[in-house]
């Protein structure tokens, strides 16, 4: 039985490093790094290969793909076969930077119009 994973739904029960608040708790990332990692993991959810972590858009919760990865050896094999590539990371980080830049531009335009 896995610790911090719901035995029925496989929902991960603790804050994750790539979550909205988890990156602060884990003290492992800066916010932008957590967002980039989340982007990589979300892209993998939409891919053809079952990822270790799955995301439920309705509940906005992360689950462990425990049916596909039934033990540590299976999970490690996935991680060895499909490590996070620098190209995935850059694509996700660039996407986040573009979203932030657009938001800042829109915010600046809004301030200019209100004057």
Q: Where are the domains of the chain?
A: 22-110
SS3 64: strand
pLDDT in tens, 35-72: 999 999 999 999 999 999 999 999 999 999 999 999 99
- In angstroms, the CA 74 to CA 70 distance is 7
4-13, 22-31, 46-55: least confidently modelled range? 22-31
**pLDDT range class, residue 115, cuts 50, 70, 90:** low
What Rg value do the Cα atoms of the chain yield, rounded?
17
């Amino acid at each position: 039985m896995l610790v911090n994973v719901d035995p029925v739904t496989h929902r991960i029960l603790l804050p994750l490093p790539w979550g909205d608040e988890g990156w602060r708790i884990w003290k492992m990332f800066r916010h932008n790094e957590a967002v980039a990692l989340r982007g990589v993991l979300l892209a993998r959810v939409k891919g053809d290969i079952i990822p270790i972590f799955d995301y439920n858009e309705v509940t906005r919760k992360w689950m462990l793909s425990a049916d596909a990865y039934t033990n540590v050896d299976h999970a490690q094999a996935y991680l060895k076969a499909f490590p996070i590539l620098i190209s995935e990371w850059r694509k996700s980080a660039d996407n986040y930077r573009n979203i932030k830049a657009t938001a800042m531009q829109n915010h600046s335009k809004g301030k200019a119009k209100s004057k």
